[in-house]
Chain A
């Protein structure tokens, strides 16, 4: 039973959280409604052809990226699972690096790869020039698959490597398991299906809300996120381009609905996946000898994951000359000096790190409380309440970061204009955006914690505080470290909301600085190397955080993150 105190404490959390998460959205919707003169439902139904084009384009790209991730990720996950435990660990980590790579770094990484002479560059350039889905779309799809590949490997590899082999052996001895197809249908599909569904749903969500990679790899693409980010700042101004306000409101509603469906699917699939993993895995690490083919495939995945990142580093020291190129540190020097009135690399580094630390400081306690509230409602058998809180915590995934940025800006302009240039603004927006990640890591770990550990502690005379600090916290420390690490990495690389908010706060983050260097007009041989230098620092920072927290990760209960 859930105690009344616990229910009140949960309510005290949920109400402000709902305001914080949904408030910016409500403010933005309210303003667009007032200026555009139509309600959100009508704006969505009467969407202009341009709005539908952007919606269709986003859905197509996100859907194809999800299919690509599943088709490529599944054999890679099987290949990784067949590797000996230690090799599997570092290979899985390497394949996961793109996932924490800031989106702007991913964008410049693929731009850098296209510049490379040889088969990789020419293939990407040729693919990018095809008009299937629009110029640049193939490179964009490859980048989206590269980004999200680890969602499949993270979820499937532990299941494949640690599932008790007796299940498959037993099935081979039964009539309904005497062929590979029957075994797939009776065993692998029920075990892996939810994980694949969750990975596909998350890929759809991330691809749907991609901004930086779309902006730089397929500039002619008209996705909803791009439309919201680029046109959003001109919307919501009374008496000015009311059609634009209607377009932004309508596309935001369509985006919200598509992402809501994806979030519900991800939520349900992750719950099934988590439960099945705990039922079917053992603590052994399968150490069967890996075949050459599986090792070759796993190594190819590692190379695929690392090549774009190395390309960024290489491009930062490659300076174009009239006769070709030369290697030098001109780009790094320019990035450090921040000439022409721009922010220097060191200042942007300090802003990014400071923002990320504040983001973690805000998101961790809120995320912890949220996950505890979901768990407590689940254990008290209040499923609807648990689902409502869980979905609320997922809300930032359902809303584009551009909308969060725009909503925060509009909300502050209306209710607290003095805070508009506050340094707290950016960490608050980032904390909102990383909250789902924190909850998605903590909640499965909390679910996996047996009830009787705390019950036993209570029988030993430990009060609630001691039970929390001596039992619960130490047992959840690994998950907490991973959650904090991921929140830190995601905040460092966040681009959409920062891009909008930085205009008011004036403090440039590394991600925004990369974009600023890339967008600098006119030809200068050191501009692109300067962008690559900033992107290298950002990429290395995110990778360092990821590698630092990796040893804390328990892949049985990580929920795929």
Chain B
């Protein structure tokens, strides 16, 4: 089955189980939100899907391809962190270039970067120093970079939590529209029920290391 599938995922830190036999299926173009209090394992779920955290057992499948034992760099999964992780020694274009495949010609690289910036509403920001960007602008650059990498699924780890209400709503809408257009499966974790409703097709609640769908 195409899309993202997680089966019987178990992650433990020492004696403590954070994820306990968790199952989740996200179809292509579908957006799923996971709600839960701080420390319940939401971020661990995303880090395990991305390959940044090794599970004790369970499977992560992407378009029926078992990627559980693959390192993060070879999974084709994008992740937006809670704060935009932008490299201060590179300008906006330099940060976006990290998302492009290697060996592209200079003109093509510039064209793709310009079009990615247009897509997130930051036209002409190529030469900007990333340390001068606002939180919202930074997150949009991070989103554009993640999309330039053409991931097979996108994970969002509360990337909008530090933004104010209006800006947050607008970014949630922009992101949802881009994902819809690209038919990407996406998992968004948040502790804000309104944001979850606005973003997702289905909303889950995490408790005891497992997910229950909210009706």
Chain A contacts to B: CB under 8 angstroms: 164, 166-167, 169-179, 182, 186-187, 190-191, 276, 279-280
Q: Report the bound CA distance from A317 to B78 in whole Å.
A: 65
Q: A169-B72, A191-B89, A276-B88 are in contact. Are A177 and B81 (CB under 8 A)?
A: no
Q: A166-B81, A169-B52 are in contact. Are A177 and B98 (CB under 8 A)?
A: yes
* Contact, CB under 8 Å: A170 / B79: yes
In this complex, the member of A167, A172, A179, A186 whose beta carbon has the largest number of chain B beta carbons within 10 angstroms is A172
Chain B contacts to A: CB under 8 angstroms: 50-52, 71-75, 77-79, 81, 83, 85, 87-90, 97-102, 131, 145-146, 149, 151
* Contact, CB under 8 Å: B98 / A178: no
A176-B102, A187-B87 given; 12 more Cβ-contact pairs under 8 Å: A169-B85, A172-B73, A173-B146, A174-B99, A174-B149, A175-B102, A175-B149, A178-B73, A182-B102, A186-B87, A279-B88, A280-B88
- B81 to chain A: which residues have CB within 8 Å? 166, 169-170
Selected contact of B99 from candidates A172, A176, A179, CB within 8 Å: A176
- A280 to chain B: which residues have CB within 8 Å? 88
Selected contact of A173 from candidates B50, B83, B87, B101, CB within 8 Å: B50
* Contact, CB under 8 Å: B98 / A174: yes
- A174 to chain B: which residues have CB within 8 Å? 98-99, 145-146, 149
Q: A186-B98, A279-B131 are in contact. Are A173 and B77 (CB under 8 A)?
A: yes
In angstroms, how far is the closest chain B Cβ from the Cβ of A114?
A: 45
Q: Report the bound CA distance from A177 to B71 in whole Å.
A: 12
16 interchain pairs, CB-CB under 8 A: A167-B85, A169-B81, A170-B85, A171-B98, A172-B51, A172-B52, A173-B72, A173-B151, A174-B98, A174-B145, A175-B99, A175-B100, A175-B102, A190-B87, A276-B88, A279-B131
In this complex, the member of A175, A179, A276 whose beta carbon has the largest number of chain B beta carbons within 10 angstroms is A175
In angstroms, how far is the closest chain B Cβ from the Cβ of A275?
A: 8
- B101 to chain A: which residues have CB within 8 Å? 175
In angstroms, how far is the closest chain A Cβ from the Cβ of B17?
A: 19
Q: Report the bound CA distance from A175 to B147 in whole Å.
A: 11
In angstroms, how far is the closest chain A Cβ from the Cβ of B79?
A: 5
In angstroms, how far is the closest chain B Cβ from the Cβ of A306?
A: 35
Chain A residue nearest to B98 in the complex (CB): A176
In angstroms, how far is the closest chain A Cβ from the Cβ of B42?
A: 16
Chain B residue nearest to A278 in the complex (CB): B88
Q: A166-B81, A167-B85, A276-B88 are in contact. Are A172 and B98 (CB under 8 A)?
A: no
Q: Report the bound CA distance from A191 to B87 in whole Å.
A: 10
- B71 to chain A: which residues have CB within 8 Å? 172
- A164 to chain B: which residues have CB within 8 Å? 85
- B90 to chain A: which residues have CB within 8 Å? 190
* Contact, CB under 8 Å: B97 / A176: yes
Selected contact of B73 from candidates A177, A186, A190, A279, CB within 8 Å: A177
In this complex, the member of B71, B77, B85, B131 whose beta carbon has the largest number of chain A beta carbons within 10 angstroms is B85
Q: A177-B73, A279-B131 are in contact. Are A167 and B87 (CB under 8 A)?
A: yes
- B87 to chain A: which residues have CB within 8 Å? 167, 186-187, 190
In angstroms, how far is the closest chain A Cβ from the Cβ of B103?
A: 10
* Contact, CB under 8 Å: B98 / A179: no
* Contact, CB under 8 Å: B78 / A173: yes
In angstroms, how far is the closest chain B Cβ from the Cβ of A270?
A: 16
- B83 to chain A: which residues have CB within 8 Å? 166
Q: Report the bound CA distance from A279 to B83 in whole Å.
A: 14
Chain B residue nearest to A176 in the complex (CB): B98
- A279 to chain B: which residues have CB within 8 Å? 88, 131
Q: Report the bound CA distance from A174 to B97 in whole Å.
A: 10
Q: Report the bound CA distance from A498 to B99 in whole Å.
A: 58
In angstroms, how far is the closest chain B Cβ from the Cβ of A176?
A: 4
- B89 to chain A: which residues have CB within 8 Å? 190-191, 276
Chain A residue nearest to B80 in the complex (CB): A170
- B85 to chain A: which residues have CB within 8 Å? 164, 166-167, 169-170
Q: Report the bound CA distance from A276 to B131 in whole Å.
A: 11
In angstroms, how far is the closest chain A Cβ from the Cβ of B36?
A: 21
In angstroms, how far is the closest chain B Cβ from the Cβ of A250?
A: 42
- B77 to chain A: which residues have CB within 8 Å? 173
- A190 to chain B: which residues have CB within 8 Å? 87, 89-90
- B97 to chain A: which residues have CB within 8 Å? 176
Q: Report the bound CA distance from A164 to B83 in whole Å.
A: 11
Chain A residue nearest to B131 in the complex (CB): A279
Q: Report the bound CA distance from A164 to B84 in whole Å.
A: 12
In this complex, the member of B74, B87, B145, B151 whose beta carbon has the largest number of chain A beta carbons within 10 angstroms is B87
Chain B residue nearest to A171 in the complex (CB): B98
- The 3 A-B residue pairs with the shortest CB-CB distance in the complex, in nearest-first order: A178-B73, A170-B85, A279-B88
